[in-house]
Chains A and B, each alone.
Chain A
Amino acid sequence: MQLIVNITVLAAIYALLACGYVLIYRVSRVMNMAHGELAMLGAYLLYTTASLFTDHPVGAIAAALVLSLTVGVLVYVALMRKMTGQMVLAAILTTIAIGILLRGVIVLIWSAAQQHPLQALKFSNPSIELIGGARISTCAALMVLATVAVYTALFVFLRFGRWGMRLRAAGQNPLLAAQRGINLNAIYALAWALSTLTGSIAGMLIALDSGLDQTMVVIGLKAFAPALVGGLDSLLGALVGAVIVASAEVLAIHYVDPLLSDVVPFLVLIAALIVRPWGLFGTREELDRV
């Protein structure tokens, strides 16, 4: 039972991080290699707003969410916009540079020491006993709920929202989308905003549960595996990929060796790429672009 809980929580973390990769890839074919750093930045922003609004945890969280949304738009407008129309590889290299830059800036501002946004918010994180004697921490439970909420919202938005349709349209044929009056810059900015927001939510919840330092980048990178296993352009794929990778990781930790934790996602990734290079739910024609 505890194993299932652990898998669910890890799958939720991966899924929440993976949807950010999918959103940006889907509209622009760019793999955002700074996603982990952006998620980490979101968590640090929460840490700061928590110290600023000491008695208003809700205000602190809301402010941190707005700030991370803004960061996403700013990264696109200031850095990635010039990359539209350029080679995808150049754009990916730019995201790698952004990631390195963010890591440096974060150390400069917040130092490399571990921070605890939970204490700053004056929250506690009691563990909840579930049926069967399994335990889950409050923040981990929140993580699962947040993932369910974010995925539901994204599915509804992409399926039924006018801007969701435009996002899909721009991903399929940017030129035709522009010819149908859709401002591609607005679409890309929207994708970056949503991606950074969802990533930051993940980052904040991870930081609340287990403290905040640069190791968050590794989690962000590991979440790239489920996104790719799922096919990179499919949200459903990211969800299924997250469950697969999380199961493999938790089972390997439990039955083999905890040291495998950082290796397993990439082993699964390689195995999946050999069997189905375009991912479980990906579009086959996308392959040449990966």
Chain B
Amino acid sequence: MGTNGAGKTTTLRAISGFLGIDDARVTEGAITFKGARIENRPPHENTRRGIVLVPERDKVFPNLTVAENLAAPVAPAAAAIERRRREALAYQFFPQLADLRHRVGGLLSGGERQMLALASGLVCEPELLLVDELSLGLAPVVVADLLRRLAEIRRQLGIAILVVEQSATVALEVADYAYVMENGRIVLDGTAERLRRHPDIQEFYLGRKSGERRSYREVKQYRRSRRWYG
């Protein structure tokens, strides 16, 4: 969680890897996954390693059909049978996609597009699925439905899922653990249970006022002074 511009997308993209265009790269610090240093590795390598990103925008191939969007990703398991099983699994979690098989990605609705993006991410056999802005531009019912499915996917496949979500109410309801980012840093983290009861979260993310009213500027000041990390 975190306000616009807090650095959530940047963090996820740094983990997933840059193409090296426009000089984008990690200049400081380390990113470690299962004991291996992965900063500044190309995205396709990290994907095969098990880190799969569902980006904020441009998350499906607009001129490829739904079926092609699910057939194009490269999965670690090259065997054709395993591959077909994997695509079938994607359709099983998102049955609506089966009826849209021959529609091109660019003509899907926002919710369908997000489903296709998640499904094509699953085809890559992630161990860690990163989902940026799950609810961007989607109706609350659609978001609730997607989150239920993500919980189901996690339960069945036993993978870790990291979701960037604007609404703290929604996020803290389904998550096990949450991080709050401000100005490019994690300022608060803990189990969802603990964060739900945290006074800062109650006040600024869940919108429950405790005590006197504060203006937005004061809120920012307040947050800055309450930085947990670095």
Contacts and interface: CB of A to CB of B under 8 A. Distances in A.
Interface of A: 85, 162, 165-166, 168-169, 172-184
Contacts of A182: 44, 72-74
Interface in B35-67: 42-44, 47-48, 52-53, 55, 58-64
Interface stretch (B13-21, B157-165, B178-186, B211-219): B13-21
A143 to B, nearest CB: 31
B19 A180 contact: no
A176 B61 contact: yes
5 contacts: A172-B61, A178-B19, A178-B43, A180-B120, A181-B76
B40 to A, nearest CB: 13
Q: Is the interface of B mostly helix, strand, loop or mixed?
A: loop
Interface of B: 16-17, 19-21, 42-44, 47-48, 52-53, 55, 58-64, 68, 71-76, 120-121, 123-124
Given A172-B61, A180-B120, A181-B44, A165 B71 contact: yes
B17 A178 contact: yes
A180 B63 contact: no
Contacts of B59: 176
B20 A180 contact: no
A181 B47 contact: yes
Contacts of A183: 42, 44, 74
A173 B58 contact: yes
B74 A174 contact: no
A165 B73 CA distance: 9
A180 B123 CA distance: 9
Given A85-B20, A169-B72, A176-B59, A181 B48 contact: yes
Contact of A165 (B17, B20, B68): B68
Q: Which of A173, A174, A182 has the most CB of B within 10 A?
A: A173
Contacts of A178: 17, 19, 42-44, 47
B48 A175 contact: no
Contacts of A85: 19-21
B55 A180 contact: no
A162 B58 CA distance: 21
A29 B48 CA distance: 26
A181 B124 contact: yes
B51 to A, nearest CB: 10
B19 A175 contact: yes
B55 A174 contact: no
Given A85-B19, A168-B64, A181 B58 contact: no
Given A165-B68, A180-B123, 5 more contacts: A162-B72, A176-B55, A176-B59, A179-B53, A180-B72
Contacts of A165: 64, 68, 71-72
Nearest 3 A/B pairs, CB to CB: A181-B74, A178-B43, A180-B73
B22 to A, nearest CB: 8
Contacts of A184: 19, 42, 44
Contact of B62 (A162, A172, A175, A179): A172
A169 B19 contact: no
A182 B60 CA distance: 14
A179 B72 CA distance: 11
Nearest to B16: A179
A174 B19 CA distance: 9
B47 A168 contact: no
Nearest to B23: A85
Contacts of A177: 61, 72
A180 B74 contact: yes
B43 A179 contact: yes
Contact of A166 (B47, B74, B75): B74
